Structure 1
Amino acid sequence: MANNLLFSSYIVLLLAIGVQLGSCATWSEDASDIRHPGKCVIQGLILSVGEEYDPKDQCVKFICGEGSVATGFNCGSRTMSNCEDLGYADVSKPYPDCCEKKFRCFRNGQEEIMQL
């Protein structure tokens, strides 16, 4: 019984992580600079391996990795049928909290502002 409960909890956790990760996009890029060996230089900021950078007013995060390779994360694509994308709801929030988007939708002749 306890094993079944533990297994069920594990599955729910994996699904929750999958939903969160499924809504983002990631990429890697060379962030080396000969003046700063072993570090990442991102938008003029010098980061050590493992350090994170969340640029203000952008919904993105960078993590400096081994070999001066930076991994970037953004929200990926979110769309709603028959709706106009009004952009991010609040880019001042740190990633991934800033990923919520606003949409203007028309349903049954009524305008609705929705967040997703």
Structure 2
Amino acid sequence: MFCSRQSVFLPNFLLLTGAMVLLLLHSSTTEAYSGLIPADPDNPGKCIYRGDVLKPGVNEGIAPCQRLTCNQDGSIFIEGCGRLRIEKCNNGERIHMDKPFPECCKLRYKCKKPDGSPYYIERDAFGGDQQNKLRR
């Protein structure tokens, strides 16, 4: 049976795309996220993320507030913070986008009191429990 490189690449690409979509959907309703992006079979030993080649080891400052670790086999361990859903509040705005992960996870939310007047709250979308889990 003939098996072209494209026929092997397509299922892997679709699997990776589906995993990233699920990761993004999950991050919109929860705090922190992490996962492993498999190596690209067409680029052995290279970490490719959104079309860019990452340097080996830890890569900080990847939008939107993420840390990517490029492994020797070309796989990428991704860590990031999502946005919390808080009733009667907006989606939140990052307070420290210029700081490295996880310091950039702090968000400021504009909320409404029952009388309609606004108030602001700050939350860390990368909670202490998650920090401990990812450090293990």
Residue of structure 2 equivalent to 1:73: 79
Is 2:45 the partner of 1:38?
yes
Does the Cα contact within 8 Å between 1:62 and 1:70 map onto a contact in 2?
Answer: yes
Three-state SS of the structure 1 residue aligned to 2:73 is helix
Residue of structure 2 equivalent to 1:111: 118
Residue of structure 2 equivalent to 1:59: 65
Unpaired segments ≥5 residues, structure 1: 1-21
1:46 & 1:85 partners in 2: Cα distance? 30
Residue of structure 1 equivalent to 2:37: 29
Does the Cα contact within 8 Å between 2:62 and 2:68 map onto a contact in 1?
Answer: no
Is 2:101 the partner of 1:95?
yes
1:57 & 1:65 partners in 2: Cα distance? 19
Is 2:88 the partner of 1:85?
no
Unpaired segments ≥5 residues, structure 2: 1-29, 124-136
Q: Which has the larger radius of gyration?
A: 1
1:29 partner amino acid: I
Percent identity between matched residues is 17
Aligned-CA RMSD value: 2.4
* Shift in CA distance, 75/90, structure 1 to aligned 2, threshold 3 Å: same
Does the Cα contact within 8 Å between 1:33 and 1:41 map onto a contact in 2?
Answer: no
Displacement after TM superposition at 1:29 (Å): 1.3
1:104 partner amino acid: K
Displacement after TM superposition at 1:24 (Å): 1.0
Displacement after TM superposition at 1:92 (Å): 1.1
